[in-house]
A and B are shown apart, each in its own frame.
Chain A
Amino acid sequence: MNCQTVRDRILELAGRPEPEIENHLRTCAACAEVRQEQLALWRRLDEWTAPDVSPGFDARLFRRMEARSTWITRWLGPVQPAFAGALACLVLLAGVVLERARHVPPPTEPPVAAQGWDREMDTALDDMQMLSEFEILPVAQAGEGKS
């Protein structure tokens, strides 16, 4: 076992003894010193106690946070979750609609609302022939002629 492995294990064991490590420490002064420093550090950490929070700390903290927020976040503050949800839904909806719009048939392809339009096609062709042969037929805009 080399020194680097031993020092890593020292940190992992946090002071708990392990025979293999102990054997190495007996023969390696450098590693033994590292272990002593580590034990001293852990002891100091165990002895340290955090100072009490001063009265009004939370209030002062929130005031500082409030002061740093922008006008938009302050204004949106109460409705931020709902706003974010609504925005996400709208973006999703826009994406779906745009994706569908991309698949609209090209302009060279006239729209067809339903299949089974043979009869209508025959009628359109007959109208074409009628308009070709019946030239005196007046064709006006809808609503202009009397019905």
Chain B
Amino acid sequence: MLIRSRAVLLAALLIPVLLMPVVSAQQPLRRGPLGPGPKAVLRPRAVAAREMILHLMSVSPAEQRNFMERNPRFLRLPPRQQENIRQRLAAYNSLAPARRDALRERFELFGQLTPEQQDRARELYHQWNQFPPARRQQLRQGFRELREAPPEERQRRLEGEEFRNRYTENERQVLHGLVDLLPDREEF
């Protein structure tokens, strides 16, 4: 009995001490754009693809080229997709620095939305593209008004007579979807 209790006590003391360097060696060296977020467990492929793009958006054009020439995972992508990434990056690199930063930040934040929210945003984008440019401009204005209104006021205005007169049913659905994606408390 004494021997067993000593053995258990020793194991309890030694295992954490001995495993501490092992556990700390497995910790990621840094957290940041490349660190897997909470969705990594649920959708590892989506997270991996998004993190590769985010990484490419975070480095200089020279580093992008170096990555695309040497990274084995990138080189295993189909040529069509490699070319697609190159073209998107070329467009991204041509943006002004402030717009690049904003887009990278939006891309990172978008990856943290729930899969349902992401799908809803894609659906809204698809609907948005169906509207002619002039209507999009009107919708931008309407959305700006809703965004600046208090959260409890937005729904009332969307259903109100003014918006019914200004927008079609489809357009109000898009506005409704955009409002749904707003945080409950947004600072301006």
Q: How far is the CA of A76 from the CA of B49 in the complex (A)?
A: 53
Contacts A101-B25, A138-B178 given: A131-B106 contact, CB under 8 Å?
A: yes
Q: How far is the CA of A133 from the CA of B125 in the complex (A)?
A: 9
Contacts A118-B78, A128-B53, A138-B147 given: A94-B117 contact, CB under 8 Å?
A: no
B55 nearest CB neighbor, chain A only: A110
A146 interface residue (CB < 8 Å to B):
yes
| Contact residues of A: prevailing secondary structure | helix
B7 interface residue (CB < 8 Å to A):
yes
Among the listed B22, B49, B180, which residue makes an inter-chain contact with A145, where contact means beta carbons less than 8 Å apart?
A: B180
Contact present for B113 and A83 (CB under 8 Å): no
B184 interface residue (CB < 8 Å to A):
yes
Which interface class (under 10, 10 to 19, 20 to 34, 35 or more) fits B?
35 or more
Q: How far is the CA of A122 from the CA of B2 in the complex (A)?
A: 63
Contact present for B121 and A147 (CB under 8 Å): no
Expressed in whole angstroms, the minimum distance between the Cβ of B58 and any Cβ of chain A is 10
Contact present for A98 and B14 (CB under 8 Å): no
Q: Residues of B contacting A29 with CB < 8 Å?
A: none
Contact present for A121 and B49 (CB under 8 Å): yes
Q: Residues of B contacting A147 with CB < 8 Å?
A: 114, 116-117, 120, 180
Q: Residues of B contacting A116 with CB < 8 Å?
A: 45
- Docked complex: A113-147 residues within 8 A CB-CB of B: 113-118, 120-134, 136-147
Q: Residues of B contacting A121 with CB < 8 Å?
A: 49, 52-53, 77, 81, 85
Q: How far is the CA of A125 from the CA of B7 in the complex (A)?
A: 56
Chain A proximity mask over B1-18: 1 for CB below 8 Å, otherwise 0? 011001100110011001
Q: Residues of A contacting B43 with CB < 8 Å?
A: 120
Expressed in whole angstroms, the minimum distance between the Cβ of A82 and any Cβ of chain B is 6
- The stretch among A5-13, A38-46, A55-63, A84-92 that forms the contact with chain B is A84-92
B32 nearest CB neighbor, chain A only: A107
Chain B proximity mask over A46-72: 1 for CB below 8 Å, otherwise 0? 000000000000000000000000000
Q: How far is the CA of A140 from the CA of B77 in the complex (A)?
A: 31
B48 interface residue (CB < 8 Å to A):
yes
Contact present for A132 and B103 (CB under 8 Å): yes
Expressed in whole angstroms, the minimum distance between the Cβ of A3 and any Cβ of chain B is 63
Contact present for A108 and B21 (CB under 8 Å): no
Residues of A within 8 A of B (CB): 75-76, 78-79, 82-83, 86-87, 90-91, 93-94, 97-98, 101, 104, 107-118, 120-134, 136-147
Residues of B within 8 A of A (CB): 2-3, 6-7, 10-11, 14-15, 18-19, 21-22, 25-26, 28-30, 34, 36, 38, 43-55, 57, 67, 71, 73, 76-78, 81, 84-85, 88, 91-92, 103, 106-107, 109-110, 112-114, 116-118, 120-122, 124-125, 128, 140, 143-144, 147, 178, 180-184, 186
A-B residue pairs in contact (CB < 8 Å), sample of 26? A78-B6, A82-B7, A90-B14, A97-B22, A98-B22, A98-B25, A104-B26, A108-B55, A110-B55, A112-B45, A112-B52, A120-B45, A120-B48, A120-B50, A121-B49, A124-B52, A128-B57, A130-B121, A131-B103, A133-B125, A136-B140, A137-B121, A137-B178, A138-B181, A139-B113, A142-B114
